[in-house]
């Protein structure tokens, strides 16, 4: 993860005289200083010289394009800045754009206000001129309205920064597939060429035995050291299995964790896809190993699901270093609880749920898989945190991608599930299971999701907008009739 910066560009013009422009620059500096000191922004804001000419605007946007550390530009018109000056710069700009519609003073200075003050503090006026040209040019941007010192504005800016990093980082994601998508499955398929055009993802394919060579080459000492670490960190739930045999099964996953990570690092991949039906010389389906790699920040998709793998990676980058983060993982809709008043969906996978979402103790179990023909894999088992979260499904509709975002409320299940040997979560989709599940199915949402407690539906729709794809949100406001109409209108809008 890079140490990204965001450029703060204040617009004005040269009609106001030096004294006014000096104040504009002074105010901008104060705002940037306060934003950086607020603790509400995950990345630093860097003040640029006030932009008063077409040439300087064009040069600044191109410099931003060419600076790898710049993840986006925040614009604000302190005074009036004739917007035709902005056309060429905006046209050439290729990074996330935010329009911070703010004003230096919070309150009208009733006793002293005169026309000089009005002319100096007219973002209500200048930001409309600027916003008009951005809209006319059809350029995607985030608009945040309010006083810059307010916590709500700062938090919105902070969460947009994370979305912007998702947009920038998306084009660096490289997904490594070991095995193709599972035969006959529709929803994990998709157009990899279009995904690279839209999202920038590089999606490659290797024979699983290329990976086996890496796993087999891991020295025994390294494996034993990692197994010791597992035994220190996790609760061993051997359920009467022979302790030595249990440890040998765990060691297979430790060897995989080291071998897979080395393969990913050597070949510069950030996300990985496996398939339980294509394991080549692997002794076990990667379970614990994949869970640990996801926790380290790698993306993952099961059964060849490269869309989920890339989304999980991207969402892990968007949430990197959040204080008190609750976790991000691949998930799968598995089983319902349909008891009236307790409706929800039990989430899990065969093995691969990221322990970043775990609540409380994490255990290791070794159990048979009901599918495939390998030895019993070791896996981490846990239940997940409570609270609101987003579950996202990116689907390929043949002519375009659609991102489906459901706001869900994670809960504890009523009773323990001692015989279920996987990491789980349990949630009720908003607005409720009946409407939420119906809307999800109408939108064509998959059973695999990229899930996070640490992102909002707004951040995900902003990301989709920046990528130029359709997104739909299922939340507390969703009703089926309106939702069906929205899907119909989108059909026309995204043709």
Q: Which residues bind Mn ion (CB under 5 A)?
A: 302-303, 332
Token pair recorded at residue 87: 């056309």
Task: Give min distance, CB of 210 to Mn ion, in A.
Answer: 23
Measure the CA dihedral 163/326/41/130, to 10°. Answer: 30
Cβ nearer to Mn ion, comparing 72 with 179: 179
Which residue lies nearest Mn ion, judged by its C-beta? 302
Question: Which are the contacts of 87, defined by CB distance < 8 A and separation ≥ 6?
Answer: 133, 137
Ramachandran bin of 372, using left for φ above 0, alpha for ψ from -120 to 50, beta for the remaining angles: left
Task: Give min distance, CB of 350 to Mn ion, in A.
Answer: 7
**C-beta of residue 131 within 8 angstroms of C-beta of residue 99:** yes
Token pair recorded at residue 359: 């609540």
- Whole-Å CA distances, 84 to 53, 173, 396: 10, 36, 38
Task: Give min distance, CB of 329 to Mn ion, in A.
Answer: 13
Task: Give min distance, CB of 383 to Mn ion, in A.
Answer: 19
Cα–Cα dist 34/149, whole Å: 7
Task: Spell 365-404 as b/e; 16+ CB within 10 A means b.
Answer: bbbebeebeebbbbbbbbbbbbeebbbbbbbbeeebbbbb
Task: Give min distance, CB of 278 to Mn ion, in A.
Answer: 14
Task: Give min distance, CB of 217 to Mn ion, in A.
Answer: 29
Cβ nearer to Mn ion, comparing 166 with 299: 299
Task: Give min distance, CB of 302 to Mn ion, in A.
Answer: 4
DSSP state of 490: H
**C-beta of residue 29 within 8 angstroms of C-beta of residue 148:** no
CA neighbor of 185 nearest in space, from 77, 307, 270, 80: 307
């Amino acid at each position: 993860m890079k140490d990204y910066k965001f450029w703060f560009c204040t617009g004005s013009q040269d009609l106001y005289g030096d004294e006014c422009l000096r104040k504009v620059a002074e105010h901008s500096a104060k705002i940037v200083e306060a934003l950086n000191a607020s603790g509400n922004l995950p990345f630093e804001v860097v003040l640029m010289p006030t932009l008063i000419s077409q040439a300087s605007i064009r040069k600044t946007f191109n410099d931003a394009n060419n600076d790898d550390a710049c993840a986006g530009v925040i614009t604000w018109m302190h005074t009036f800045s004739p917007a035709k000056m902005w056309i060429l710069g905006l046209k050439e700009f290729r990074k996330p754009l935010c329009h911070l519609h703010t004003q230096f003073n919070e309150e009208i200075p009733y006793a002293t206000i005169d026309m000089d003050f009005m002319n100096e503090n007219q973002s209500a006026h200048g930001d409309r001129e600027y916003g008009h040209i951005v809209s006319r040019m059809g350029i995607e941007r985030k608009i945040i309205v309010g006083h810059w010192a307010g916590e709500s504005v700062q938090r919105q800016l902070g969460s947009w920064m994370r979305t912007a990093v998702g947009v920038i980082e998306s084009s660096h994601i490289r997904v490594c597939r070991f095995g193709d998508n599972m035969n006959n499955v529709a929803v994990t398929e998709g157009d990899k060429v279009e995904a690279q055009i839209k999202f920038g993802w590089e999606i490659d394919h290797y024979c699983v035995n290329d990976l086996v060579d890496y796993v087999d080459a891991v020295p025994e000492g390294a494996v034993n050291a990692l197994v010791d670490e597992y035994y220190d960190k996790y609760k061993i739930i051997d359920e009467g299995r022979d302790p030595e045999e249990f440890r040998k099964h765990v060691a297979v996953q430790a060897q995989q964790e080291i071998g897979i990570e080395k393969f990913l690092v050597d070949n510069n991949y950030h996300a990985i896809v496996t398939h339980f039906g294509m394991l080549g010389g692997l002794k076990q389906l990667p379970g614990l190993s994949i869970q640990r790699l996801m926790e380290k920040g790698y993306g993952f998709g099961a059964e060849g699901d490269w869309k989920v793998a890339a989304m999980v990676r991207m969402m892990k980058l968007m949430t990197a270093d959040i204080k008190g983060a609750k976790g991000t993982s691949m998930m799968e809709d598995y089983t319902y609880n349909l008891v009236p008043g307790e409706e929800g969906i039990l989430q899990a996978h065969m093995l691969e749920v990221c322990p970043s979402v775990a609540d409380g103790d994490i255990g290791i179990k070794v159990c048979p898989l009901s599918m495939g023909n390998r030895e019993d894999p070791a896996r981490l088992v846990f239940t997940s945190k409570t609270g609101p979260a987003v579950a996202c499904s990116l689907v390929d509709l043949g002519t375009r991608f659609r991102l489906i975002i459901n706001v869900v409320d994670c809960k504890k299940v009523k009773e323990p599930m001692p015989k279920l040997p996987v990491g789980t979560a349990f949630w009720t989709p908003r607005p409720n299971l009946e409407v939420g599940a119906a809307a999800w199915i109408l939108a064509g949402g998959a059973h695999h999701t990229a899930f996070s407690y640490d992102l909002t539906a707004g951040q995900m729709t902003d990301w989709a907008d920046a990528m130029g794809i359709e997104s739909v949100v299922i939340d507390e406001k969703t009703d089926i009739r309106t939702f069906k109409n929205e899907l119909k209108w989108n059909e026309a809008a995204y043709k």
